[in-house]
Each structure stands twice: as C-alpha cells, then as structure tokens.
Amino acid sequence: MPVDPALLLACVLASIIVVLTPGPDMMFVLGQTLAGGARRGWAAAIGIWCGATVHVLAAALGVAALLAASPALFTALRLAGAAYLVWLGIGAVRAAWQGAPALVPSAAAARRVVLQGALTNLTNPKVALFFLAFLPQFVAPGRAAPWVQMLLLGPLLPLLSVPFFAALIAGAGWASARLARSARAARWLHGAAGVIFLGLGARLLVQRP
C-alpha cells in the first residue's frame, strides 16, 4: 500500500475536522447560494474543488514551497485575491441596490460562478500554505515517494467536504428559492452575499504569512 493505513485514517479524521470548521470556502458557497440558489451554490463548490485540486498538485510538486519562501509573491497573491473578492462584493451590493432578481439559473451564469470559485480559492495563499503544511504530516517514510503519497491523500479533504456542502447548499438554496419570490427579499439576499464577499476580501487583506 503506497500510504500508511494508520496515517490514512488520521488524515481522514483531520480532514473531517477541517471540513466542519467554518472558513472562507464555506462562506463563499453560502453567499453564492443565497444570491442565486442551489445551482449557483453547487457551481461555487465545484470551482472551489477545482482550486483545491491545483493546490494539492502545487504542494506535491513543491510549487507551494516557493510561495512560502517568497513574502513578495505571497503578498501579491493575497492582494489580488482580496481585490477580486471585494469586486464580487461590490457587484452583489450593486445588484441589491438596483433590485436585480436573485435567481440566475442560466448555464452561462453557472460557468461564471465556477470560475469565480476557482479564482477565489487559487488567489488565497493561505490555502496553498495549508496544504503544504497539512499533507506532509501524513506521509510515511518507506512507502511511496512523498509526492505520490501527497497526491493520494490530497483529494480526501475536498471529497469529504461534498456531503457538508450538499447540506449547506440545500438549506441555503431552500431559503433563497422562497425569499426570491419577493423583490424586497431578493435585494436582501444580494446584499447579504455582498457583505459576505466584502468580509472575505477584508479578511484576506489583513492576513499575513
């Protein structure tokens, strides 16, 4: 077996704890679901999983180590991510102000949200550093090459988040679908999403390595 069974179990348990801990990914999915319903929430989750996959590859191949060793690169990526989240937040607040409808079920809109989810995840350097610090703890000497073990263990966290995101999206989507029938409630949904995105942007802005 390329990974140690005991360390595999420990990785699963640790991943479950991480999944259940509120974080930026959870808030981003919540905001998108409130603003556009369950389909938009799932699109956001898919985008986040795509970003996480890239981070796992970066950690396994040592690219994330370059980010950790370069404060300037870390800061540039952090500022870019914060600016993008603030831009999304301003867009949602503007939609609330203009009274835009809450539900946008088109395929084009879903693809756009997938891209947004991926970008918000990829431009958060803390995620890259997390996988760089998290995965090596479960690499066993004498098994497969470390990068192979990291590639095998890395997808566990995104996979274990699927049922949690499913419950979050179902609940928020149910509320969004009912509140969206009211124009006033739709504006509040966009406003809530905007506040979430602006908060995430501000949080990323003040983070340090």
For residue 91, the tally of other CB atoms under 10 A from its CB is: 16
Distance (Å, whole) CA 6 – CA 29: 32
Answer whether 47's CB lies under 8 Å from 117's CB. Answer: yes
Q: What is the DSSP letter of 139?
A: P
* Beta carbons within 8 Å of 81's beta carbon, 6+ residues apart: 119, 120, 123, 124, 125, 201, 204
pLDDT number for residue 105: 55
Q: Which of 161, 136, 130 is nearest to 150 (CA)?
A: 136
CA torsion 74-147-26-67 (nearest 10°) is 0
Global pTM? 0.82
pLDDT number for residue 162: 95
CA torsion 9-13-18-22 (nearest 10°) is 150
Mean pLDDT by 10 residues, the chain (209 residues): 89 92 87 86 95 92 79 82 85 72 62 91 88 89 86 93 94 79 66 81 73
Three-state DSSP class for residue 182: coil
